[in-house]
Structure 1
Amino acid sequence: MQNTANTAVPGPPEPFDTRVLLEDPHTAYAELREAGPVHRIPGPDGRPAWLVTRYDDVRRALADPRLSLDKSNALPGNFRGFALPPALDANLLNMDPPDHTRVRRLVTKAFTPGRVERMREPVRRAADELLDAVEPAGRADLIAAYAGPLPITVICDLLGVPQRDRRDFRAWSDALIAPDPERPHVAKEAVGNMLRFYTGLIASKREEPGDDLLSDLIAVRDDAVGGAGEGGDRLTEDELTSLAFLLLMAGYENVTHLIGNAVLSLLDHPPLLRELRERLPPAGIAAAVEEFARHDGPAPLAIRRFPLEDVEIGGVTVPAGETVLLSLASANRDPGHFKEPDRLDPDFGRLGHLAFGHGIHYCLGAPLARLEAETALAALLSRLPRLRLDISHTELRRRPTIRARGLISLPVAW
């Protein structure tokens, strides 16, 4: 694999087939990491991007204020991301301080340790109800029947989304997470459907507020507009809609992939599966969830960044406005930071993994994601002791995108 680490000026990417990052990502990242700290590759949108591979460089870059999330700082024509309307695009993944600080402050209270811990019992009930529905059959697609519906249930309950409105949400989300290049109209229709969904949901919450996070955010927005906002915090209407969109999307996608990848890892490591079953209840497998997130996490790449000025990363000068991709997957298996990084072992105490990010953009929902994964795995291990893969490993299919590391399906039997 050709090293492009000494390239210091913009130019066309070296021939690099990004399919290797789909087919065998950890081997591909290991080769890139060994070849150099920074590489010029085609990004997810097909445009040139700078890929950062080593732990120390990735960690520093995640917290570097010179690397902006605001797409307006991208060079014209250099970046082509999701084409979202303003009402869905004004979210935390496109914001820098002070807007990022203001908006994040308003929603952080929903994910405090105490509030998240109070959700453990509702999450456990949701997990048991899903397992009740499939257990008699003796087999199921664990993504469709469990790892997907569980986080949707949890985040929809948190936001107060009525049961009747949840049916189509997963299909819309999937169309955006991994768009089909041969059917671009599907993703476009999903965007339109989501915009109508969130606009209608907010309108209904204004008419009939509930005891939920979205109603609280609407109250903050409307009170601030009326002059009653506290502490100078404000939400525009687009920011309100975009925040609901981001919470639902991120709360579904990443947790689904975290659970699915963790279950597959357990099926690939039977001794570990037996060991974790002996550690129940959920608190006993908390360290294992951290290791699953490090070893094969749901987000191989952090959200793209754009340098506000020429920035040196790993000895390479990255010009202002170009796209920077920080590889969390590569950093989390960097032998320069982790001992035996390819080994899956929850007792290693691998502190400092970057699966949930680092710095001011650290994953807002990480405490809830951890709780959901712990609870989902504990319920599965306790209720389905003979769990096994129901197809050959070579038949497994993953999302066709380097943005996410997740299974399309996971057929299992017990």
Structure 2
Amino acid sequence: MALLLGRILEISGDPFQDGLDAVTIRTDGAVRIVNGLIAETGDAAALRAAYPNDDITDYGNDLICPGFVDAHVHFPQTSIIASWGKRLIDWLNSYTFPEEMRFGDPDYAAMIAARYFDLTLANGTTTVCSFGTVHPTSVDAFFTEAQTRGLRALTGKTCMDRNAPEGLRDTAKSAYDDSKALLDRWHGVDRLSYVITPRFSPTSTPEQLHTLGGLWAERPDCLMQTHLSEQTDEIAWVKSLFPEARDYLDTYEQTGLLGENGLYGHAIHLEPREIDRLSEVNAALIHCPTSNTFIGSGLFDMDGLTSRVRVGLATDTGGGSSFSMLRTMAAAYEIGQLRGRPLHPAELMWLATAGSARALKLDNKIGRVAKGYEADLCVLNLSSTEAIAQRADRASDAWEEVFASIMMADDRAVRDVWVNGNRVQR
């Protein structure tokens, strides 16, 4: 049994709907971990007295948070992160597709998966939902590495049967067969979940989209992830490829790929009908702020969309320019400022933890420091650099301290990470 002492980020609700008091910071708190789960939280002195024989780690003024939950990534793009000067379609052709061609090699896929999890854990991220490549080996490599580390992780084979290089195209039939075989092999094993994964409408024929919609109908317990309305030229491309569709979302709706377990990345340039339908089915949108600015996509409407649908937060590695959810929160704040609505640090921390967990339908397992939840934790030093420390010294309350770290911190702020009740050795 482990007993962790420090300040605790406590989440009782959604700050966008329930007010900022839904996320609070407890001082002199404690978290008790038993068999990989949070057994109890509360006052440090009381829990120390109740469990004198526990293995105690005293974090002082550090903040014990839920491990960060990154709801939309491309782990195969690890090595091409921060590549210069392209928008979406050119980005795919210049950087993404040549790199993804390499994932037919199981050894290369395994090497990148290990590197990816090293980087994300160093930044306090304990759960990710990733796209693979067209190669089943990419999914096997990702899940094998995640399983070895005891992580809760989600991914799926990316399906594409047009508008991609020959070595990255499958067919409607092979997309179904490969996805089903991988789903049967991995879904629900340990802490792993398979996600049905058409990349986006431009790289799938209507036949393939219908086939994957059929698989989702067979296995509605799975999530489905794709991209939606990221850039204006992408939307124009979709209109040219699907002239009968009412809008971009309709390309998914007509093929059985719109539903409550759907994850739609970016969703910047939505039409009113699309927002209405996403709200009606209770789908989830994933905000990728560093990616949206890095490749020039646009500004996500956080206030307008959180009032209608579930929203998660993501780095979108490697279109996103950082593996850090702290940096991602900072970018979300900056986009909020540009839209005239700065996000409070309580809202940002919620998005990176409980909000993303809710988007992934995992909010009964992860995303909170609370009894019965899996013990995935990130411990943040809120004075990790000289610049941050001098600002924290001037803070009038704990939220000002947290905000300074959101805006300026990097992996040096991550003092410790706990995964499934085990302290990660770094």
| TM-score, scaled to structure 2 | 0.24
Flag the structure with higher strand content.
Answer: 2
With normalisation by structure 1, the TM-score equals: 0.24
Greater RCO, CA 8 A, separation 6+: 1
More helix by share: 1
